[in-house]
Amino acid sequence: NINITLLFSLDNYERVAVAYIDALQARHDAGQPIDRIASVASFFVSRVDTLADKKLDGKAAEGADVSSLKGKVAVANAQLAYEKFESLFGSDKFKLLKDAGAMVQRPLWASTGTKNPDYSDVLYVEELVGPHTVNTMPVATIEAFLDHGTVKRTVDADYAAAHKVAEDLAALDIPIADITHQLEAEGIDAFIASYDDLLDGVEEKRSALAAASGDA
């Protein structure tokens, strides 16, 4: 089972989905089974609004009207990713693989707790409901959704509106790709730093144990 994580941008999501389909095709062509391979593509949501809103606040300070975009970018970005999902996994190429038992690579919505108290505490759940999706909600969001959430297919209900958000953002000279690529780069740097810290901790422990045993 495969989890591809730390996805924010549409282009990298598409690369991941295409790589998954191509890998299934390669296995199928080699006569290997493809009916027990499961995968998710973890697409991060709320952090997009955190950065987008910050940039929009800067534009508002210059006199721009950004009211229609605040708190809208993250959901629009995820919905556009789902549009790509539908296109790629609804293709003739994947249909042949599906007939051989292949499963779709499911979009997994990550970072779906609402960070801005001005927004609905179930914003990143209610607006992203659809077939084959997974939502890794924090406990507080699960409890909020159980209390007052609405279950209704929404993720593919209005792609035109999602495209409009991206277009309006670009008109303010804030391309959505710039936001998502920045978040991916920052996320990778954070993962590297965390991994390096882990290695340092292991080395310190190893050195301490070696010194205690006289093997240093």
- The domain in which residue 136 lies consists of 2-213
Task: Decide: 6 and 41 in contact? Cβ < 8 Å.
Answer: no
pLDDT of residue 31: 98
pLDDT of residue 215: 64
**What's the CATH number where 46 sits?**
3.20.20.70
The structural domain count of the chain equals 1
pLDDT of residue 214: 74
- Interatomic CA distance for residues 197 and 105, integer angstroms: 32
pLDDT of residue 148: 98
pLDDT of residue 171: 98
Task: Decide: 74 and 49 in contact? Cβ < 8 Å.
Answer: yes
Name the pTM for this structure.
0.92
Q: Where are the beta strands (DSSP E) in the chain?
A: 2-7, 39-44, 105-110, 134-135
What's the DSSP call for residue 70? T
Residues facing 52 on adjacent strands: none
Residue 63: left (phi > 0), alpha (psi -120 to 50), or beta?
A: left
- Interatomic CA distance for residues 87 and 112, integer angstroms: 24
pLDDT of residue 7: 98
Q: Which two tokens stand for residue 36?
A: 């027990």
Tens-level pLDDT at each residue, the chain (216 residues): 899 999 999 999 999 999 999 999 999 999 999 999 999 999 999 999 999 999 999 999 999 999 999 999 999 999 999 999 999 999 999 999 999 999 999 999 999 999 999 999 999 999 999 999 999 999 999 999 999 999 999 999 999 999 999 999 999 999 999 999 999 999 999 989 999 999 999 999 999 999 888 765
Q: How far apart are the first and last CA of the chain?
A: 41
